[in-house]
Amino acid sequence: MVWDHGVAGSNPVLPTTLNKAAKEIWWLCCFYEVQFMFTVYILFSKGLQKYYTGQTQNMENRLREHNSGETKFIRSGKPWELICTKNVETRSEAIRLEKKIKIYGAKRYLSQNK
């Protein structure tokens, strides 16, 4: 079976030639992609003049956590500004990219990956 994963904007287009079971599987695949995407992010604190790099499955919630000041370092940098995000498919990819950015330095990474 050939699956047509055409995309209109950011909404997947359901192929019209699939039977009911195949449609259910297709929607589950779309749901899995959306729900289990990981985001590597870089924040910046104007007050500290420092970058923070991390990874999450829920960027909106994570940014809210950073700006609520749940840990001492994060609290001292409020408000954090979201500078950059990159979506990857697996947590292991997110961890690898996060580590790469931290080793390389967020400022340097940003200047070379505009």
Residue type, 32: Y
Predicted local confidence at residue 11, as pLDDT: 45
Beta strand residue intervals within the chain, DSSP E: 7-8, 11-12, 38-45, 50-56, 80-88
Q: What is the CATH number of the domain that holds 72?
A: 3.40.1440.10
Predicted local confidence at residue 7, as pLDDT: 40
Count how many domains the chain has. Answer: 1
Predicted local confidence at residue 30, as pLDDT: 58
| Per-block mean pLDDT, blocks of 10 residues, the chain (114 long) | 40 56 61 71 94 94 88 83 95 96 96 86
> Global pTM?
0.67
CA distances for 100 relative to 22, 50, 54, 89, 103, angstroms: 39, 17, 11, 17, 5
Determine, yes or no, domain membership for 93: yes
Predicted local confidence at residue 18, as pLDDT: 57
Determine, yes or no, domain membership for 13: no
Q: Which domain holds residue 99?
A: 38-112
Predicted local confidence at residue 8, as pLDDT: 39
Determine, yes or no, domain membership for 94: yes
For the chain, the residue count is: 114
Predicted local confidence at residue 99, as pLDDT: 97
